[in-house]
Structure 1
Amino acid sequence: MKKITLAIALLVAPAVAQAWPWSKDMSEQISVKPQESVNPANPGMATYPEHSVPVQGTASFVKDMEAADKQKNPVPATQKSVELGGRLFGIYCTPCHGYAGKGDGLVGQKLVLQPYNLTADQTKQRSDGFIWGMMTFGGAVMPPYANDLSPTERWHVVNYVRKVLQQGGTVQANVNGR
C-alpha cells in the first residue's frame, strides 16, 4: 500500500508543482511590460526623448546568403571597430569558434559538425559579406545572430575576424569588454 501511495504522489507532484507561486515569476516581474506606462500618474506609452532624431545606420535588408555574399563591408576597420568586434566575438563566437577562431571552442568540440575555422584559407577567400551573412542567417550548426547583433555589430565582428584572427594579430577577445 505504501508503494502505491508513493507512486501516486510521484505522479501527481509535477502537476501540483505548476500551481506554486514561482511558476509565474518570469511573467510577473516588477519590470515595465510592453506598452505599459512608466508613470502611473500619466498613463500611456513613454514618448521619445525630446530632440531625438532617428539615425540612419548600416541597416541592411538582404534576403538570402547569395545577396549577403555580394555585400561590401560599410564599416571601416578602425581600431575602435576591431576592438568592439573583439568584445562581441568573445561573447557570441568563442563558445563554438574558440578564442583563436579555429572552431575549437568548448561548445564547438561537442558538435558533430565542427564550426568553421575562421583562420583557414577557405574562410580567408570568402567575402566579408559571406561572413556577415553566416552571422545573419546561420548555417548547418550555427544559429542566426540577426536578432542578437545589429547589422553594424556584425560588421564589427567581421573586421575583428579579418584584422586580428586572419592576419595573425594578438587575440584580444574579452567577454567582459575590458
Structure 2
Amino acid sequence: MARNLDFLVCILVMVMDTVAGILGIEAEIAQNKVKHLRVWILECRDPSHQAFKLGLAAVVLLSVAHVITNLLAGCVFIRSKEEMDGASPNKQLAFASHVLAWIMLGIAFTLLICGTLANSKSRKDCGIVHHRLLSIGGVLCFIHGLFAVAYYVSAAAVFREERELHQHGAQQNKPNQQSTQP
C-alpha cells in the first residue's frame, strides 16, 4: 500500500509542477498580448490581469508541490563531509536532490513573483525591459518537479533502508536477550 501511495504522491507533485510551469508560460504569453511602447531598452506597458492571475496560480501550485514533497518525504540531512562520505547512495541522492529542489524553488518562485507583480493592476510599468521572467520561472517549475520527485523517492528509500537496518538489529539482539534470562 505504501508503494502505491508513493507513486501517487510522485504523480501529484509532477502534475502540480507541470501545471505550474504551463501556467507560467501562459502568463508570459498573456503578458505579451498587452499593448506596449518600446524605445531601445526602455518600455512602457499596461499590466495584464490575465497574466497576473496565471502567474499567481503558478506560484501557488509551485509552493504547494514543494510543501507536499517536504512534508511527506520527511527530512534527510547530512551534517558533515565525513557523514556524506559514509552515507548510502540513496542518502547522498536524497541530500543532493533536496538542496537542488530548494534552489530551483527559490529561483522559480522569485521569477514568478516578480513577473506576477509586474502585472499587478496598480502598476503601469515604464522602465528597463525585463521579459521572460514568467516563462523562465515556468520552465524552472518543470525542473523543480524532477528534483522534488527524485528527493521524495530517494528519501523514501533511505527511510526504508533505515527501518530494515533497525529491524535487523532488533532481531539480532532478541536471541541474545532470551539466552541471558534463567
Decide: shared fold, TM above 0.5. Answer: no
TM bin, normalised by shorter chain, reads under 0.3
- What TM-score comes out, normalization by structure 1 length? 0.20
More contact order relative to length (CA 8 Å, sep ≥ 6): 2
- What TM-score comes out, normalization by structure 2 length? 0.20
